[in-house]
A and B are shown apart, each in its own frame.
Chain A
Amino acid sequence: MKKVFLFVLIAALMLPLFANGNGESAGSSAGFAPTKDITWYCTSKPGGGSDIYTRAISDSAVANGWLSKAPLINYKTDGAGEVGRNEVANTKQNADYTLLTFNSGDLMPMVANTPNRIKNFTPIAIMATDKQLLFINPEKAKYKTFADALAAAKAGTQVVIAGSKGDDLELYGMLIKELGLKENQIAYITNDSTADAITSGLGGHVDLVMSKPAAASEYVKAGMLVPVLALSDSRFAGDLASAPTLHEVDAQYNDVELPVWRGIVGPAAMSEEAAKFYSDLAKKVSESKEWIEGYLEKNSLKSSFMDYKEAKAYMEKYEADYLKKIGK
């Protein structure tokens, strides 16, 4: 009783800090199994990419009986998601019942624009990775291969790539750095989404389109987009196999890639037992039929499960590499 009273008192004093939080409460854990509602933060609106991913995991966990009750999804889109991430990072009470959907596309703006870092979170798992390719519109493109486009750029004609924001923009930066070209030789147009980038490619307003396999697959099947460069260390499979890697295009260059990953993290205050519990849960989900057929295959993603230890090492290295690249 004393403990509860003390907690209420502290909570009352810290009230403004929890202004937006719901479901905060003291929780103790030993050999962790959830006994209360789990609050799962999602930094996209309902229906956004992160929401679909979050719900795919939660649906599979509930359908298989690994979780008795679906987590409460808490949409926090303020400040392009930074507010929600910051809130999770600072969650001390109820830390074992707080999860956050966290992707590479979240990490990069977070470390670039805010002081928040991976060390403020407890990585739980990485569920899937994805890579990009460059495509041309075979009807309207001036250049039929990436080598042609590269030659034109070097000869002084501007080549324009359209892509999405976040990781696409970063990858473009890596690409021109490797090629030793300037931003006016190969220019980049940032779109709000890959769909918009594809639209401008179909309209013939740009020379190249950057996309992940999932968003482009239907256009490739219809012959409206043709892959010309794999931004990966090896070729893609299936109907994307025709695209060479950068090293294959010209042996003087190294392959350029920026694997995009989708993961789950908790607050830094989360106990190791809880992290292990959620990590095991995520592993089971990653092997479930619902997840493989209903999410990965639909989105042409590669399953690349990492548990909480591997995810921690991976995310920390990713952050360190990125920080070094942007000179922070």
Chain B
Amino acid sequence: MIEIQNLTYSYDRADDKVGGLALNGINLTVNDGEFVAVLGRNGSGKSTLAKHINAILLPMGGYVYVDGMDTLDESKTWDIRQSAAMVFQNPDNQIVATIVEEDVAFAAENLGVPPDEIRRRVDYALGAVGMTKFRKEAPHLLSGGQKQRIAIAGVIAMKPKTIVFDEPTAMLDPSGRKEVMKTITELNRKYGITIIMITHNMDEAVCADRVVVVDKGRIIIDDKPRNVFSDVDKMRRIGLDVPQATQIAFELKKAGLDIKCDILDEQECVEEIIKLCR
């Protein structure tokens, strides 16, 4: 479980004339097994928030507890990072070895896991991301989506309870995005890993159980995706999108049709429009 209490943080660079707080009184609890999407504009503070969850950044005010461990307690830093691991945007920056399975083993090796246990974990992690048959390949010959799945496998081999993803699909093509989103969703549903995922892609946020919107260092929305996206006007005011299917329903309603707006994907949109035709 992740518990964030009244968290504030400022980068406070001397040359930063804008200054101000990057995070301004964040309160957030993420329970075990939840899938939370974090949305927000560039500079809203969402990456700053994510970096607090595995102690890359430490609170200036307030507290962050990862499985009951206070991130300010330096003796716990490594345990925290094992419990809440992080996957970044660019897979190329996260791959270190020349063979897939060695890369996946890298983090676990550094934790001092015994060799036979590493073997088990690597096999398990490659299976979880659907990359077993590529275990002997060279990572640089894989596609973007496959490389990102290898990076995720490396994290899974650490057996974390939570994985924090910072825009994991931003650099991928459509099929790569689909692969990675399927993997993330499965890790949550099938393997019970808690997911916190930052994204700009509204279609991806729809997969989560809960959507948190960060704006100017504060959490301004915390609700189910269906409730969040149905308020199209509000999302636009914040500077965020909604899925095109939701937009279509919203525009049709504005044109005077009796259609519900809490639509998340094309399937639901088609069904609702068919109802209108009857």
Pair from one complex: no
CB within 8 Å of A: which residues of B? none
